[in-house]
């Protein structure tokens, strides 16, 4: 991830000024801090699903290891992309708050999937992503201690990272 071009236009004080009224509102009315995010999916071709959120539409396709043609992002790609995106935004915000200049940053996420599970080849093979790894490559003049604090706070405040560490209750319904 390269440095956010918009970051040059916002310093830590400006970010604090934007967030201060939100923080105060949430302190006074905790219920107002709970936002329900939403995504919908519509089936397309035999191996595709178009997913829409308030901000983006993307078509997910079957991974080649499960018989897809490789022409689109699979849901695993999207999961790792969400982790990288959230970690990147959080890293940017935390670096600003700590006054740490990042000349550049690259974030890499990898996760292992044993496709025997999802294809029903082996009941012993897990279904789902295993061993997710998140790597930060930072170009900064910050001290090792500052970088450790930056990464610790990024982990602490990254919504997707924390969701993966502490999975929510998931319910399935039919309407």
Residue the block writes with tokens 């993307």: 58
CATH pick for 5-27+74-165 out of 3.10.520.10, 3.30.300.20, 3.20.20.100, 3.30.2450.30:
3.30.300.20
* Token pair recorded at residue 135: 């790597």
pLDDT tens figures, 106-159: 999 999 999 999 999 999 999 999 999 999 999 999 999 999 999 999 999 999
Q: What is the C-alpha R_g of the chain?
A: 19
For residue 56, the tally of other CB atoms under 10 A from its CB is 8
CB 83 within 8 A of CB 134: yes
pLDDT tens figures, 44-77: 878 899 999 999 999 999 999 999 998 889 999 9
> What is each CA distance from 16 to 11, 55, 72, in whole angstroms?
9, 24, 38
CB 49 within 8 A of CB 43: yes
Q: End-to-end CA distance of the chain, in Å? A: 40
Phi, psi of 56, deg, nearest 5? -155, 150
pLDDT tens figures, 79-113: 999 999 999 999 999 999 999 999 999 999 999 99
């Amino acid at each position: 991830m390269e440095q956010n071009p918009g970051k040059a236009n916002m310093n830590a004080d400006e970010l604090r000024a934007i967030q201060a009224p939100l923080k105060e509102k949430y302190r006074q009315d905790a219920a107002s801090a709970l936002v329900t995010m939403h995504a919908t999916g519509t089936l397309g071709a035999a191996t595709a699903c178009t997913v829409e959120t308030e901000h983006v539409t993307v078509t997910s396709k079957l991974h080649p290891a499960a018989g897809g043609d490789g022409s689109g992002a699979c849901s695993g790609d999207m999961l790792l992309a969400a982790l990288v995106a959230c970690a990147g935004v959080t890293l940017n915000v935390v670096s600003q708050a700590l006054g740490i200049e990042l000349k550049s940053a690259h974030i890499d996420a990898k996760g292992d999937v044993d496709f025997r599970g999802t294809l029903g080849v082996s009941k012993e093979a897990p279904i789902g992503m295993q061993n997710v790894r998140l790597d930060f490559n930072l170009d900064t003049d910050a001290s090792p201690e500052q970088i450790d604090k930056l990464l610790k706070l990024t982990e602490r405040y990254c919504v997707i990272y924390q969701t993966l560490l502490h999975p929510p209750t998931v319910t399935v319904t039919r309407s």
